Chain A
C-alpha cells in the first residue's frame, strides 16, 4: 500500500469495503444494512459519550491524587485516600 493513499477518498472507501466484508454487511439487503449501521453507530456513540464523561472524571481524580503525593511527600499515604 502506498503511504500517499493514506487519506484519499478512495482509500477511505477501500477501508469501508473491508469493514463491510469483515462484518458481512456486504451480503445484507439495504434495509438490513441500515439497521446494522444504525445499531453500530448508536453503540459507538454511547461508547464515546461514556468515555467522555467517565474518563475525564477518572483522569482528573487520578491527577489530584498524584499532586497531593508530590506536595506532601512525608505524609502517610493512607490519610490521603478518602
Chain B
C-alpha cells in the first residue's frame, strides 16, 4: 500500500512509504519450511537426550539434570536447531577498515557450524553492503584519520575516569558545543556508547507516574530504557498516527489507571529511521499531536543523523521542521560519523539536568580522545567548516545512491520495505533456507550482506538488509545489483507482484549520474 500523503500542508514533499504484503503462497511455504525444521529439531533433541548423538551445545551438568530445565524454552530450541544451521552468515571476522570494500577472513566448519576454523586465507575487496557507513567516514586515510592520530599522540587513548570525576576533557566540551551547533539546539551532551545513551538517560527523564508511548518497532535500547525507568509503557502501531492519537486521548481523558490522576509526563518515543524496516517516522504529524496533547517527544536519530536532509542534519531537516519542536534529540556517532558513542541535544536546562542525574554521566567512562577528534573532524566536514565541499558532496552522493539502488531493486521485482529516501534497504527473503543461502551465495560473489532472521524480525518476515554508503561508487552499486539480480533468479526471490515502470520523464541513469557527480 503506497502512502503518498499531502496532508493539510504538513508535508512539504511526498512521503512515499511502502510495505508490500506477503504473498499468500510464500507465507504458506515459509511455514512449511519452519515446520519441517521444527520436526527435525525435535528429532535431533531426542537423539541428543538419548545419547545417540553427541551433544555440542550448552546443557546442565549431570548433577543438575533434576533441577528445573534451563534450556527447554523456544529461544534455546531455535538457537540449537535453526540458528546453528545458518550461523556462518553472522559474526564473520573482518580484518580491514569497514569502508566501501572490506577484507574478510575465510573460515570453514567441519561439523556443521558448531565450530569454525580459519583457513588462513583473507578474502580481499568484498563490497561491503552491511556496514553502517552512511557518509563514508570509516576511512584509514584522510583528514579525520590524521587529526585522530595527532590527538592520540597528544592525549593517549584512555581517559581513566567518568565525566563527573576527572574525565571531562576540553575535547569533550568542544565536541558538545559543536554538536549543539550542528543540530541547531541550545546544548548537547555526548556519551561513550549509543545503546547506553538511550538505556541510561530515559530513566533519568521519566519515572513512576509518567506515561511512555513507544512505537511498536523501537530499538532494544529504547525498550530497555523505558522498562528501567518504571513508567507505564503503552505501544502504538508502527508509524500509525491514528493509533498514537487514540492512546494520547485515552491517556488525557482517563489519567493514571487506578487513581485517575493526570499523568506527570507523557513521553513519545520514536526513531528517525527504523533500521529493520527502512521507514521514516511521520515527524510533522507526531509534532502536531505532541503540541495538541501537551506531551514530550524523544527522537532517536541513530540512523537518520547525517543520512537524511539536504545538509545531513537528520530527519528534522528532512521534513523542514524546527529542532526546537523536538524536546529531546538523541543520536549516535556510530553510523554516519565513523566513530562510537551517542549524544543527547535539547534545551540548556535539560542538558544541565542530565549532566548531573544521568547514570551514564556518573558511572560510564568518558569517550576516548581520538574518537572525539574523529567526530569533531567529521562534523566539521559535513557542515563545510573545514573549507572543502566534501561533506556536502557526500550527503548528496548518499541520496543519489539511495534513490538509484532502491529504484533498481524495485524494478527487478524484489519486495523492498520502507521509505524511498531511507539508506537502509530491507529486501524480503521470508524462507529460512533462503536466509542462509542468500548470505552464502553473496559471499561467493564477493559481496558482504547482513541477513536478519527470527528474534530481530517477525518469524516469517526474514530479510536481507543493505546499508548504502556515500563511499559506494556507481560501479560498485552496479556490480552489487548485477549479483543480487543473479542470486534473486537463482533463489527465486522476486516475489513482488507489482513491477515499477521505469520513470520515463527522466533520461536513464548514465546521464543523470554524471550531472551530480563531482
- Give A residues with C-beta under 8 Å from B: 14, 17-18, 20-29, 32, 36
Instruction: For A36, list chain B residues within 8 Å (CB).
Output: 36, 40
What is the CA–CA distance of A24 and B490 in the complex, to the nearest angstrom?
Answer: 16
- B37 with A24: CB separation less than 8 A: yes
Q: Within the complex, which residue of B36, B85, B436, B437 is in contact with A23, where a contact is CB–CB below 8 Å? A: B36
Check B437–A26 contact: CB distance below 8 A: yes
| Nearest Cβ on chain B to A23's Cβ, whole angstroms | 5
B491 within 8 A of A: yes
| C-alpha gap A27/B40 in the complex (Å) | 11
Interface string of B421-462 (1 = CB under 8 A from A): 000000000011110110000000000000000000000000
- The interface size of chain B toward A, counting residues with CB under 8 Å, comes to 19
Query: Whole-angstrom distance between the alpha carbons of A18 and B490 in the complex?
Result: 9
B86 at the interface (CB under 8 A from A): yes
Complex CA gap A26/B433 in Å reads: 6
Q: How far is the CA of A32 from the CA of B42 in the complex (A)?
A: 12
User: Quick check: B433 and A22 within 8 Å, CB to CB?
Assistant: yes
Within 8 Å CB of B36, what residues of A?
23-25, 36
State which of B40, B433, B437 has its C-beta within 8 Å of the C-beta of A32: B40
Residues of chain A with a CB closer than 8 A to B5's CB: none
Task: Pick from A14, A27, A29: contact of B433, CB below 8 A.
Answer: A27
B437 neighbours in A (Cβ, 8 Å): 21, 26
Q: Which residue of A lies closest to B432 (CB)?
A: A24
| Cα-based distance from A21 to B34 in the complex (angstroms) | 11
* Cβ-closest chain B residue relative to A23: B36
Let me know if B356 is at the binding interface, CB within 8 A. Answer: no
> Which residue from B37, B85, B86, B431 sits with its C-beta under 8 Å from A21?
B431
B310 to chain A, nearest CB (A): 43
Q: Does B112 contact A (CB under 8 A)?
A: yes
Which chain A residue lies CB-closest to B438? A21
Decide if the interface of chain B is mainly helix, strand, loop or mixed: helix
Is the pair B33, A24 in contact by a Cβ cutoff of 8 Å? yes
Of residues 1 through 44 on chain B, the ones whose CB sits less than 8 Å from some CB of chain A are 29, 32-34, 36-37, 40
Report the bound CA distance from A11 to B29 in whole Å: 21
What is the bound-complex CA distance between A26 and B434, given in angstroms? 9
In the complex, whether B492 has a CB less than 8 A from a CB of chain A is yes
Question: 9 closest Cβ contacts across the A-B interface?
Answer: A27-B85, A24-B33, A24-B433, A26-B433, A21-B433, A24-B37, A22-B29, A24-B36, A23-B36
Whole-angstrom CA separation of A60 from B491 in the bound complex: 44
The CA of A76 and the CA of B85, in the complex, are separated in Å by: 66
Q: In chain A, what residue has the closest Cβ to B436? A: A27
A14 surroundings in chain B (CB, below 8 A): 490
Residues of B366-382 whose CB lies within 8 A of A: none
Q: Contact at A22–B32, with CB atoms within 8 Å?
A: yes
Flag if A27 contacts B32 (CB, 8 Å): no
Once the chains bind, are A29 and B112 in contact (CB under 8 Å)?
Answer: yes
Q: Which of B29, B40, B432, B491 has the most CB of A within 10 A?
A: B40
CA distance A28 to B85 in the complex (A): 8
The reply to whether B32 and A23 form a contact with Cβ atoms under 8 Å apart is yes
* A55, B410: Cα distance in complex, Å: 46
B173 to chain A, nearest CB (A): 54
Contact residues, B28-65 vs A (CB, 8 A): 29, 32-34, 36-37, 40
A17 / chain B contacts, CB cutoff of 8 Å:
490
User: B436 and A26: CB pair below 8 A?
Assistant: yes
Bound Cα distance A17, B112 (Å)? 20
Please name all residues of chain A whose beta carbon is closer than 8 Å to the beta carbon of B85 when the two chains form the complex: 27-28
Choose among A18, A20, A27 the residue with the greatest number of B CB atoms under 10 Å from its CB: A27
Interface pair B434/A27, CB less than 8 Å apart: no
* Nearest opposing residue in chain A for B435, CB measure: A27
Q: Which residues of B contact A22 (CB under 8 A)?
A: 29, 32-33, 431, 433
Which residues in window 189-215 of B have CB below 8 A to A? none
Other than the given A24-B433, A26-B433, 4 more pairs (CB < 8 A) read A21-B437, A23-B33, A23-B36, A23-B433
Question: Roughly how many angstroms separate A37 CA and B456 CA in the complex, as a whole number?
Answer: 32
With contacts A21-B491, A22-B29 taken as known, whether A28 is within 8 angstroms of B431 at the C-beta atoms is no
Chain B residue nearest to A17 (CB atoms) is B490
